[in-house]
Structure 1
Amino acid sequence: MHATAAAALNATPTGSREAWGWRGRTLSRPVTTSSGEGWLRLVSAPADKACGKLWEGPQEAEQLMPAAVPRPRLRERRTWTDGEHGYLAELYDKITASTITTHEPILREAPYLDNAWWDELSTALDTIAIVPSDRVTVRQEYLDRAMPQYLGIPIDTKVPAWTTAHGDLHWANLTNPGPTLLDWEGWGRAPAGYDAALLHAYSLLVPETAAQIRQHLGHILSTSTGRFAELVVITELLQTTTRGDNLDLEGPLRARLARLSG
């Protein structure tokens, strides 16, 4: 089906590199086109689920995100159904910088990221936060149910402030040099500080980098809304551990929860 997508978009796969997404849901490869190098990403889903927020996210980001937000630009897209599966093919400009991690969102060793990198990331997050959108990344109803269950403490679950978020800000979606922010499927409204809190949670195995995040994104995290966003992220990631994901993070997440909750 990736070859079918390439033919439909007049693109030719180059080299042997293949980038598989979470649980094989996506397959991406570098391609060449009449306008130069590109990156072709193919998404597969059951036909009855080949629609909705995740399906439309990259296209809506291309339409609504300011050009100043560093991201791969979407050139073309195609959708079709074949039997029981629906497909979405997206042709992007090729990003030459490497992602900071390759196969997982969790950081396991400290990357070298200079002050300029952190400043650019901070500016990008501040810019994203004020983009008007009716897309939803985190729902209040979910927090009302999940936060008491997974945090195990009495807590006011009402979100103190909402802003727009990338929604999946982790180390496999960031490049260096850069930063370029990849994967815009899930962007939308979330508790203020959500992106910074998520990146911080995925850095807890590397205290040096976690400290850098608190330093450079302190204007986001070192606030009451930022601390609430951390509790939201801890809730979500602790829930994933019950499904067998992110198990290495469970101990650090609980330690961070204890610190935040006193």
Structure 2
Amino acid sequence: MWVNQPVLSDDLILQHDLRLPDSWWNDLAGTLEKVTAVDTDRVAVRQQYMERAIPEFVGIQAPAVGRWSTAHSDVHWAHLIASPLLMLDWEGWGQAPEDFDAATLYACTLLQPDTADRVRAVFPALGSPAGLAAEATVCAQLLRTVSRGDSLILEDQLRNWAEELRRRWPCTAR
């Protein structure tokens, strides 16, 4: 399928603030809700990865996953088109901790506080105990990327996020 509309960003990390209408955010939330309802045996995130990466990069034990659901698994600004709302690049979709897509979009928005606040408002599980597994997984994935020399522009924000996750976790891994 060819798409002739522009994506919202040339980079997965949002470099400028977006002023998207409420209707777009509602459509995004509704679309991601529909994705979670799809039944599949495909796997996007493995428990074994979480158990290894979260302690190493976030510094906490891997939180229990309250619910696994289907995720696009690569929702970021270079994979989103505004009008009509389209999500591109579905090659990695599958089961992941619930709210994984919202956590991924949030992470890719950390340089733009107003838009990051909007992501959190639209997806209230972020910042809650229910979203901890997804957030910790995404944070670990991106800190791993930073450790390899990529996405360095997000390093400080990711480290701050990891610190927030450690404060939210009841027993910090040592």
**2:154 matched to 1:246?**
no
Q: State the 4+ residue runs in structure 1 displaced beyond 4 angstroms.
A: none
Report 1:169-180 matches (<5 A).
169-180=75-86
Report 1:152-191 matches (<5 A).
152-153=59-60, 155-191=61-97
What residue ranges of structure 2 are gaps of 5+ in the alignment? 168-174
- Report the structure, 1 or 2, having the larger strand content: 1
**2:7 matched to 1:99?**
yes
Secondary structure of the 1:107 match is: coil
Report 1:29-48 matches (<5 A).
none
**2:23 matched to 1:116?**
yes
Structure showing greater relative contact order (alpha-carbon pairs closer than 8 Å, 6 or more residues apart): 2
Secondary structure of the 1:244 match is: coil
Q: Tell me the CA shift for residue 156 of structure 1.
A: 4.0
CA contact (8 A) 1:98 1:177 kept: no
Secondary structure of the 1:99 match is: coil
Q: Tell me the CA shift for residue 222 of structure 1.
A: 4.5
Aligned partner letter, 2:3: I
Q: Give the number of the structure whose alpha-carbon radius of gyration is greater.
A: 1
Report 1:1-150 matches (<5 A).
92=1, 94-102=2-10, 104-150=11-57
- Report the structure, 1 or 2, having the larger helix content: 2
Q: Percent identity?
A: 40
Q: Distance in 2 between matches of 1:138 and 1:223?
A: 20
Q: Distance in 2 between matches of 1:238 and 1:128?
A: 26
**Over the residues paired in the alignment, what is the CA RMSD in angstroms?**
1.3
Q: In the comparison of the two structures, how many residue pairs are matched?
A: 167
What residue ranges of structure 1 are gaps of 5+ in the alignment? 1-91
Aligned partner letter, 1:116: S
